[in-house]
Structure 1
Amino acid sequence: MNRRKSREIATRLIFEISINKESYVDIIENFRENTEEKIEDIDFEYVIRVLKGVSENEAQINETISKYLVKWKLERLPKMNLAILKMATYEILFDEDIPNKVTINEAIELAKRYGDDNAPSFINGVLNNLIKK
């Protein structure tokens, strides 16, 4: 199973939840039924853990992200940047098995792929400030 691919799927599903306002259970089920991704490459245990964790700890995750935003409000962030930050903040706060540097590097790679030109440096700044405090 590919952790990078699984992290990407988790982030895309967090984004989808923010748009569709569906439960993480429904989003995962819908993804499994309709994806063209190779299912065997995805660590669904990880994806479920992240989506459930972000859902159950959303207030704390949002509060943590908000603390480290400079001249931004959470509500004004592009939804994909916010999805990347939620995934990464969840890993930093709640998943001790993943080193913070790995989480940040993966978040930057996701920002390069899905964000605008400023997204990688923005994501890097927020997450680096988070782990320093």
Structure 2
Amino acid sequence: MTRRSRGREVALQVLYQLEQNSGVMTTDVRRFIDRRLLRDRPLVEFTTGLIEGVRGNQPQIDDAIKQVAENWRLDRMAAIDRNILRLGAFEILHHPEVPAKVAINEALELAKRYSTAQSSRFVNGILDKVLQLQDPAPRSDAEAGSEADPDVAVESPAAAEAEVAPPAPIGEGPAA
């Protein structure tokens, strides 16, 4: 597992925890992240950025998921799948430096590890449609800049550039 994959895994655990128990203290979340990532400062910052980004952009992310999730209401999805989708959609919509294929593959790996056998297909279908919302005309590998994530080699298009909204600090984002 790459370092960033580990960071995404911890981000998913925190997002799930915050959704299930919105009363979790910011200090407890930070302690959990530090402990799980062995105080690797760059990785802690990456992970914290993912969490704050998802929480700070959650209404837009949820709207994108709702728009493409045919016959599925967000509140009826399994909580773990919902948070995997949020994490993947955040990277697709707000991190153009991360190739979309990387964001989707990372989400699929999380679904395989933490959810049911069918979840990876579900996550793949939803995130592929989110990507199509973002970038309806796929670009070539050269245009995609597929070397953006140093931990993963990619051979497919990246998401279109998007303006990144500043993340809300952990504990101050919208309630899940």
Same fold (TM over 0.5): yes
Amino acid aligned to 1:20 = N
Q: 1:43-62 to 2 correspondence within 5 Å?
A: 43-62=43-62
Q: 1:88-107 to 2 correspondence within 5 Å?
A: 88-107=88-107
1:81/1:111 contact within 8 Å kept: yes
1:30 and 1:74 map into 2 onto residues whose CA distance is: 30
Bigger relative contact order, structure 1 or 2, given CA contacts below 8 A and separation 6+? 2
Matched, 1:127 2:124: no
Name the SS for the 1:89 alignment partner: helix
Unaligned runs of 5+ in 2: 134-176
Amino acid aligned to 1:72 = W
Q: TM-score, structure 2 length as denominator?
A: 0.68
Shift of 1:12: 1.1
Bigger Rg, structure 1 or 2: 2
1:17/1:24 contact within 8 Å kept: no
Which runs of structure 1 show a deviation greater than 3 angstroms over 4 or more consecutive aligned residues?
A: 22-27, 35-42
Distance change in 2, residues 1:52/1:36 (3 Å): closer
Structure 1 match to 2:8: 7
Question: What is the total number of aligned residue pairs between the two structures?
Answer: 132
2:57 and 2:84 map into 1 onto residues whose CA distance is: 15
Q: 1:37-76 to 2 correspondence within 5 Å?
A: 38-40=38-40, 43-76=43-76
Q: TM-score, structure 1 length as denominator?
A: 0.89
2:10/2:36 contact within 8 Å kept: no
Unaligned runs of 5+ in 1: none
1:104 and 1:19 map into 2 onto residues whose CA distance is: 24
Q: Residue deviations 1:67-118, cap 9 Å, x none?
A: 1112110001100001100111110111111000000011001000001111
1:68 and 1:10 map into 2 onto residues whose CA distance is: 24
Distance change in 2, residues 1:92/1:24 (3 Å): farther
Name the SS for the 2:40 alignment partner: helix
In percent, how many aligned pairs have the same letter? 29
Which segment is superposed worse, 16-25 or 83-92? Answer: 16-25
More helix by share: 1
Distance change in 2, residues 1:99/1:36 (3 Å): closer
